[in-house]
Amino acid sequence: MTEEDFFTLYREKFVPVYADFVALCTTKPRQILIEQENILSHLSQYKNQRLDSNTREENLIKANNHLVRVTLDMHKLVWAELRERLEPCALDGKKRLAFNAADDSVLKMFGEFMEQARAARHFEMNNVGNNPLDAIEKYEAANRTGHSLFQRLDTVKAARITRWTRIFSSRDFLIGVGASLAASLIVYLISM
């Protein structure tokens, strides 16, 4: 492990997924901020010239371990956020019209997104402690699929579909209540 390896991981793996999460959620998760603090603490010890070289190297490894863990966690958070936003629209036939893609394409992409995440989780669980960077790669693939589908979602159209569905549901309910009251009134009048 070198300092350059650490900063390459930071720039190429952590920063992009962190930016994705902040852009999706407009917030920074507390646990991620704690992990960043841990990383910085270990890096400062790695740069501390008063420590012996072995202790300094151990701190670089610890900082790297925190960075790998937080990067993996960020991918899971991005995946969960994408799923939360995509699932209601992808699985509802009416709301699926809000995608700028063919119906079968949306279902196929959503299925791939879910399957890739499942495979990533299985890989991670079966390989705990063995090169978590491979697990990160698998989550990255799932999130690329999710982002690709999310880019095809017209959120304005989805909101309109939701609004019109509520209006029609309310209208149908009111018609049902009105018909029920009318029928009850007719039965009452006939029975008199």
pLDDT at position 58 is: 97
Which residues make Cβ contacts (< 8 Å) with residue 4, sequence separation at least 6?
Answer: none
Cβ burial, residue 132 (10 Å; 0-12/13-18/19+): middle
Tokens of 78: 């991005």
Residue 69 has φ and ψ, to the nearest 5°, of -60, -45
pLDDT at position 162 is: 63
186 has pLDDT over 90 = no
- Ordered DSSP codes for 113-176: HHHHHHHHHHHHHHTTTS-HHHHHHHHHHHHHHHHHHHHTB-HHHHHHHHHHHHHHHHHHHHHH
Could you tell me the maximum CA-CA distance found in the chain, to the nearest angstrom? Answer: 102
- pLDDT single digits (tens) 48-78: 999 999 999 999 999 999 999 999 999 999 9
pLDDT at position 172 is: 57
Tokens of 4: 């350059």
Name the 3-class secondary structure at 26: coil
- pLDDT single digits (tens) 5-47: 999 999 999 999 999 999 999 999 898 999 999 999 999 999 9
pLDDT at position 161 is: 63
Which residues make Cβ contacts (< 8 Å) with residue 56, sequence separation at least 6?
Answer: 45, 46, 47, 48
Name the 3-class secondary structure at 100: coil
pLDDT at position 141 is: 97
- pLDDT single digits (tens) 77-104: 999 999 999 999 999 888 888 899 999 9
Q: Which helix (H) or strand (E) holds 68?
A: helix 53-90
pLDDT at position 169 is: 59
Domain edges within the chain = 3-153, 156-192
Provide the whole-model pTM.
0.80
Tokens of 108: 């196929």
- pLDDT single digits (tens) 116-166: 999 999 999 998 778 889 999 999 999 999 999 999 998 777 767 666 565
Q: Which amino acid is at 15?
A: V
Residue 96 has φ and ψ, to the nearest 5°, of -60, -20
Q: How far apart are CA 142 and CA 113, in angstroms?
A: 5
Indicate the DSSP class of residue 93: T
